[in-house]
Amino acid sequence: MEALRCLPGVGPKGAQRMAYHLLQHDKPGAQRLAAALARALESIRRCAKCNSFTEEALCALCASPRRDAAQLCVVETPADLLMMEQTLAYSGLYFVLMGRLSPLDGIGPKEIGLDVLQRRALDGVVKEVIVATNFTNEGEATAHYIGEMFKERELKVTRIARGIPVGGELEYVDSGTLAQALAERRPV
Amino acid sequence: MEALRCLPGVGPKGAQRMAYHLLQHDKPGAQRLAAALARALESIRRCAKCNSFTEEALCALCASPRRDAAQLCVVETPADLLMMEQTLAYSGLYFVLMGRLSPLDGIGPKEIGLDVLQRRALDGVVKEVIVATNFTNEGEATAHYIGEMFKERELKVTRIARGIPVGGELEYVDSGTLAQALAERRPV
């Protein structure tokens, strides 16, 4: 039970339920889980190009010849990468920071590999860096830092749009978002 | 009880509770409500300039000399107007459609006063029409129609931005919005 508590969202009760369930009703499941965890811990490493999780030296995306190498999308986490892929709207490559700037927690540019990103983006092939960090304070600070980093370079740096969600109605949108959407209005 | 059912969101049970509450515990409240409704029905009319509700010929916003008459924000409802005002980010004037294009329901350009809007926006003072209709199908169709309407005129037509809300995290945003935010990315 104590060991299961390391899973996110699992409290004492949940851990207890899980432990008894595995021991009473699903011993093979517990064995598979133990083996899968051990195997993952051993074989999963970071992609040499995008810093995401992979079992090979290069992840499937970075290794694919069908992706557009001129676009590099910077995301905070592998989960965000997955979200971008699910839109089916992006065909470029990625760079995963595995975090965000957060000076209060001692997370600076080095800790999230912004120096690695700089070398990666200036390889001569990348033409556009698309910053897709979250629209939280830390995500915005990270985006700002990345923008400054490539300021004097021959590189287009863009930020995904802020505004009102698809299907969104003004009446139910918070006023901060509405103010942003107004400030960033664009010609029809 | 039957009469209270005309209020939005009030079902049979709610109407019953309201009716008994007013009669048993709050007769003065019921009297005030009856008087307020009667007074409102008598004195509330449409602003001659923006089409919103008002008790005068012109609403307080249209009559104010402190508003920027060069900007005209088009919204669907008075509630949307109120939302825009709450952002404290807009100082121009409004035009309230009191609806949206919805051909299936028989609501065409005339029904939401787009001809009135055209005359209003071409008064020579208005320099920019900011379309702030909802990002629903009908709202988007209405925005498109307004854009076409002023296409050949000396008038800037803008649309409030679509994208990821303030504070939004990629992981929790729907993929349609993320795809839009990607498509409408802008230089940092």
Summarize pLDDT for A27-76 with one digit per residue, the tens: 999 999 999 999 999 999 999 999 999 999 999 999 999 999 999 999 99
| Chain mean pLDDT for chain A | 94
ipTM for the predicted complex comes to 0.80
- The whole-number pLDDT of residue B26 equals 95
> How much is the average pLDDT of A119-143?
95
Q: CA A129 to CA A126: how far, in whole Å?
A: 7
| pLDDT tens track for A148-188 | 999 888 899 999 999 999 988 999 999 999 999 999 998 88
Q: Of B164, B162, B167, which is closest to residue B139 (Cα–Cα)?
A: B162
Q: Do B87 and A159 touch (CB under 8 A)?
A: no
Q: Give the position of tokens 């969202």.
A: A9
pLDDT at A110 over 90: yes
Contacts of A169 in chain B (CB under 8 A): 134-136, 139
- The whole-number pLDDT of residue A188 equals 83
Q: CA A163 to CA A88: how far, in whole Å?
A: 21
- The whole-number pLDDT of residue B54 equals 95
pTM for the structure as a whole: 0.82
Nearest CA in chain A to B85: A175
Count the neighbouring beta carbons within 10 Å of the beta carbon of residue A148.
11
Residues contacting A132, CB < 8 A, separation 6+: A73, A74, A75, A80, A84, A160, B170, B182
Q: CA B150 to CA A188: how far, in whole Å?
A: 10
- The whole-number pLDDT of residue B71 equals 96
How far from the centroid of its chain's Cα atoms is residue B101's Cα? 13
In a 13 Å sphere around the CA of A78, the CA atoms on its Cβ side amount to 10
Contacts of B188 in chain A (CB under 8 A): 131, 143-144, 146-147, 157-159
pLDDT band at A89 (very low <50, low <70, confident <90, very high): very high
A43 CB burial (10 A radius; 0-12, 13-18, 19+): exposed
DSSP A162: B
Q: Pairing mode, if any, of strands A53-54 and A45-46?
A: antiparallel
Q: Do B169 and A135 touch (CB under 8 A)?
A: yes
The token pair that represents B135 in the structure block: 């990002």
Residues contacting B187, CB < 8 A, separation 6+: A156, A157, A158, A159
Beta bridge partners of B186: A159
- The whole-number pLDDT of residue B89 equals 93
Distance of CA A16 to CAs A19, A26, A66, A141, Å?
A: 5, 14, 47, 41
Distance between start and end Cα atoms, chain A: 58
Which regions of chain B are under pLDDT 50?
Answer: none
**B106 near A156, Cβ under 8 Å?**
no
Contacts of A134 in chain B (CB under 8 A): 168-170
Give φ, ψ of A97 to 5 degrees.
-75, -25
pLDDT at A13 over 90: yes
Distance of CA A185 to CAs A28, A180, B128, B157, B162, Å?
A: 57, 8, 11, 10, 8
- The whole-number pLDDT of residue B152 equals 85
The token pair that represents B140 in the structure block: 């988007």
- The whole-number pLDDT of residue B188 equals 83
> How much is the average pLDDT of A124-136?
95
Nearest CA in chain A to B149: A188
Q: Which of A160, A171, A180, A184 to mutate to test the interface with B (most CBs of B within 10 A)?
A: A160
Nearest CA in chain A to B79: A171
| pLDDT tens track for A15-39 | 999 999 999 999 999 999 999 999 9
- The whole-number pLDDT of residue A3 equals 94
**B97 near B113, Cβ under 8 Å?**
yes
- The whole-number pLDDT of residue A15 equals 96
The token pair that represents A86 in the structure block: 């699910």
Q: Give the position of tokens 């985006």.
A: A143
